[in-house]
Amino acid sequence: MIGVFNNQATDLRSMTETDINADSNPDDETFAHSDFRIGTEFYTEAGLWRCTDIGTRTIVAVKIKDGYPSPEHHPPFSDAVEMVFDEYDFDGLYRRPMKD
């Protein structure tokens, strides 16, 4: 079963633990480039992020702070931090929050 929320108005997808690419290891806590979709949420040591764009070897994500931006907000984000993550960063992108 794939746990996907599809918002027709924004065409965003949120990935749950069961929505894992067939090529990836379900026991692996980190992401591969092929695991990302627009709207995929993930964690770094800095907190929660949401994927806003996917490149050939990169993804762009916006930092979620106090629920902003929510899936209903559309780019451009006037006061949200957006960052590019490349293939060397993917080992630091996690499916669950970092444990202290």
| Token pair in block for residue 87 | 């293939």
Residue with tokens 């907190």: 47
Q: Which residue has the higher pLDDT, 43 or 15?
A: 43
| Whether residue 91 has pLDDT greater than 80 | yes
Kindly report whether the global pTM for this prediction surpasses the value 0.85.
Answer: no
Q: Which helix (DSSP H) or strand (DSSP E) does residue 47 occupy?
A: strand 47-54
d(CA 44, CA 46): 5
Q: Domains plus CATH for the chain? A: 4-92 (3.30.1360)
Are the C-beta atoms of residues 35 and 25 closer than 8 Å to each other? Answer: no
Please tell me the predicted confidence (pLDDT) of residue 51. 93
- Please provide the average confidence, as pLDDT, over all residues in the chain: 75
Are the C-beta atoms of residues 36 and 21 closer than 8 Å to each other? Answer: no
Cα angle: 77, vertex 2, 12; to 5 degrees: 15
Nearest in space to 47 (alpha carbons), one of 65, 59, 28, 27: 65
pLDDT single digits (tens) 49-84: 999 999 999 999 999 988 777 777 777 777 788 899
Please tell me the predicted confidence (pLDDT) of residue 28. 57
Q: Which residue has the higher pLDDT, 12 or 47?
A: 47
